[in-house]
Amino acid sequence: MASLFALTACGGTAESAPTPDDSVATVERVVDGDTLDATIAGKSTRVRLLNINTPEVARDGQPGECLADEATAELEELLPQGTAIHLDYDVERTDRYGRTLARVTRDDDGLNVNQALVKAGLATPMTVGANTTYRREMDSAYNVAQAMQVGFFDPKQDCAPPGESASPSTMTSSTASPSATPSPTPSATPTPTPTLEAPPAVVGDEVAVGDPAPQPNPAPQPNYNYNPAPAQPAAPQIPAAPRVPAAPQLPAAPHVPPAPESDGGYPGYTGPRCYEPGGKVWHPC
């Protein structure tokens, strides 16, 4: 105590322990496309890459989502074990699972790893809570991936970005594992994003880029308030008079050939003839 007092009296101060720098870390292993374990200030810490979302890998008997393995392999290639990284934080430093939320850059070349995954078409922008500082750069990378037609946007891939094609009844719930992305739930106030995409879809306490760019609305049609007069009913048709059938024709009377004339007992006579009443008997006049 005497020596400590003496140091103080002479203007000296007791040395304080240095504060660990939690922005410096070393990669231990990659968990999936957007999650890794790193040593921060001498402690193993699970880090969730800030403002991005990648497809879920196979877990608990559930199959992996489209391009999940590719996203994991890409992160492993960008951040192999032992890589020195720098962590940038935002307003909220942890998510509901206790994972540290950070933008990750490589120390050797300053590569923004979060943005690189989005630009490769293997991750989509998203927002957790109030962490919007680095969201704009993720949106920009997402538009680049669309223009370059890579990853989700490759025409050869029958694949959609996470959350775009799934319906509420088919989306995978991942709340059982602290390494998984929170399951989608509705939200009344999604955070607007300055991108070329449609208004973002809400995923739990996260906001994820959703649908493709909206199509322009068709021009409104003019309303002239035109009310045409009601059509007049057609005049009833008078039925035609019934057709009277023609009277049946009576058959013509049979032709009766005239009876042969008698020579009157004057054979060979060619002179004038005088007929008896009835016109059949004659005699020379």
Query: Known catalytic residues?
Result: 48, 56, 99
SS3 category, 86 = strand
Residue with tokens 């060619």: 270
Quick one: three-class SS letters along the chain?
CHHHHHHHHCCCCCCCCCCCCCCEEEEEEEEECCEEEEEECCEEEEEEECCEECCCCCECCECCCCCHHHHHHHHHHHCCCCCEEEEECCCCCECCCCCEEEEEEECCCCCEHHHHHHHCCCCEEEEECCCCCCHHHHHHHHHHHHHHCCHHHCCCCCCCCCCCCCCCCCCCCCCCCCCCCCCCCCCCCCCCCCCCCCCCEEECCEEECCCCCCCCCCCCCCCCCCCCCCCCCCCCCCCCCCCCCCCCCCCCCCCCCCCCCCCCCCCCCCCCEEECCCCCCEEEC
- The letter for the amino acid at 76 is E
Closest CA to 23 of 2, 53, 47: 47
Q: How many helices (H) does the chain have, and how many strands (E)? A: 4, 11
Rounded CA gap, 15 and 4, in Å?
Answer: 11
